[in-house]
A and B are shown apart, each in its own frame.
Chain A
Amino acid sequence: MENSVTCAKVRKADGLTSVIDISGDVTAASEPALMSAYEEAAQQGARRLILNFTGLEYMNSGGIGMLVTLLVRANRNRQPLAAYGLSAHYREIFELTRLDEAITIYDDERSALAGGGS
């Protein structure tokens, strides 16, 4: 169950925003990869974080729990969290788990960057 591989790469989208490109599987075992990406973005001085799920292959309930932990850390540092690139299925999972009430979901990177105030 936990032998998944998560890749999380950080890039600066603009002066205040960092994008974390997530690919592979997101499960409870993804904690080191996601938290290390978060640390890197924080060190870049990101005031806002965008999660790019375009490369997401699989996510289970442990992965959703991991995103909540990431969300708490971002909230503690007053960094709004947004996401894009979710398939219709995972968008529905975000709605079912009501994670979409805390992580703003956009269709693509351009609209995520434009929606900086939300």
Chain B
Amino acid sequence: MTGNPAGEGRPRGAANWAAKVDRLTVGEGGSRGHNVAGRRLTGPVQGFGKMWRKTYWIEVSPEIAPKAVIAIWKEHFGEFWPKANRFEAPLISLGAGDVALLDVSVGGGVRLSTGVFVLYADEESFTLMTPEGHMFAGWITFSAERAGAATQVQAEILMRANDPLYELAMSCGGHRKEDQFWIQTLSSLARRLGATTAVVRKRTICVDSRRQWRNAGMIWHNSMVRTTMRSMTSTFARRRQPKPAP
């Protein structure tokens, strides 16, 4: 952890947190940031669906220091994702306050353009928070620590589906797809760390089985619907353009 020297008036570790933002801004995202720019952040308190805590972890050699794992993970974050998904960080390594854009394949040829905000980052962990319209409202914390005779590397998600449509999608194979996503990601990371035989373990806990119907209106921000509508509109507009004379 990067603490602050005592006596500077800020609590220990304050620099690891992002500064407060009310709405997200996107630097160079262009049109790809349309589902992120101006959106508010959403945590597990705000979402619609059941609240889940999903933990995926691997064990690697104790000779690999937790700080080294997190440094590699931050710097090459998107490289460990399954193919057909794209992660675009604005800087070389993820830092608190950064906004990264993502294109996620959600199956059936449907792509979801969204983003994440780096809420917290220290040398042994970092946490991403999602914006309105993302599949889920919540946090994903990536961490590494010594655990017995190994270094344990973990991704933990605390989430609720953001709206009724996403909740339905999560119930109809979304959770399974998400499991596959993180298992593939951790397997790729394990290979990079030289742990070719590492097994990804997972634990899923339903923290709150109630749905928050007061947040059902979040469907208005649904990035999947908006991405699909946007691509249909641009296809239609292209077709309507007069063809150049031969």
Digit string of B127-140 for contact with A (CB within 8 Å is 1, else 0)?
A: 10100000000010
Contacting residues, chain A, for B156 (C-beta < 8 A) = 65
Report 12 cross-chain contacts, Cβ distance below 8 Å, ordered by A residue: A1-B124, A1-B143, A57-B11, A61-B125, A61-B127, A65-B139, A68-B43, A72-B51, A75-B208, A92-B20, A96-B119, A101-B46
Digit string of A70-105 for contact with B (CB within 8 Å is 1, else 0)?
A: 011001100000000001011011011111011000
Contacting residues, chain A, for B41 (C-beta < 8 A) = 96-98
- Contact B45–A62 (Cβ < 8 Å): no
Indicate whether A60 sits within 8 Å of B125 (C-beta atoms), given known contacts A1-B1, A65-B139, A72-B208: yes
Indicate whether A65 sits within 8 Å of B141 (C-beta atoms), given known contacts A1-B125, A76-B208: yes
Determine if B13 is an interface residue (Cβ-Cβ < 8 Å). Answer: yes
Q: Name the residue of chain B whose CB is nearest to the CB of A75.
A: B208
Inter-chain CA distance A92–B11, complex, in Å, is 12
Digit string of A47-70 for contact with B (CB within 8 Å is 1, else 0)?
A: 000000000111111101100110
How many residues on B have C-beta within 8 angstroms of the other chain's C-beta atoms? 38
Determine if B87 is an interface residue (Cβ-Cβ < 8 Å). Answer: no
Inter-chain CA distance A68–B158, complex, in Å, is 9
- Contact B43–A99 (Cβ < 8 Å): yes
Indicate whether A1 sits within 8 Å of B46 (C-beta atoms), given known contacts A89-B11, A96-B21: no
Inter-chain CA distance A90–B40, complex, in Å, is 19
Contacting residues, chain A, for B129 (C-beta < 8 A) = 97
Contacting residues, chain B, for A95 (C-beta < 8 A) = 20
Determine if B219 is an interface residue (Cβ-Cβ < 8 Å). Answer: no
Pick the contact of A60 from B40, B44, B120 — CB < 8 Å?
B120
Contacting residues, chain B, for A64 (C-beta < 8 A) = 139
Chain A contact residues: helix, strand, loop or mixed: helix
- Contact B119–A89 (Cβ < 8 Å): no
Inter-chain CA distance A98–B207, complex, in Å, is 18
Pick the contact of A1 from B14, B45, B145 — CB < 8 Å?
B145
Closest chain-A Cβ to B244's Cβ sits at a distance in Å of 51
Inter-chain CA distance A98–B44, complex, in Å, is 9
- Contact A96–B20 (Cβ < 8 Å): yes
Contacting residues, chain A, for B17 (C-beta < 8 A) = 89, 93, 96
- Contact A97–B119 (Cβ < 8 Å): yes
Determine if B12 is an interface residue (Cβ-Cβ < 8 Å). Answer: yes
Interface residues of B in 149-178 (CB under 8 A from A): 156, 158
Inter-chain CA distance A76–B210, complex, in Å, is 9
Closest chain-A Cβ to B132's Cβ sits at a distance in Å of 11
Contacting residues, chain B, for A1 (C-beta < 8 A) = 1, 66, 122, 124-125, 143, 145
- Contact A60–B16 (Cβ < 8 Å): yes
Inter-chain CA distance A46–B230, complex, in Å, is 51
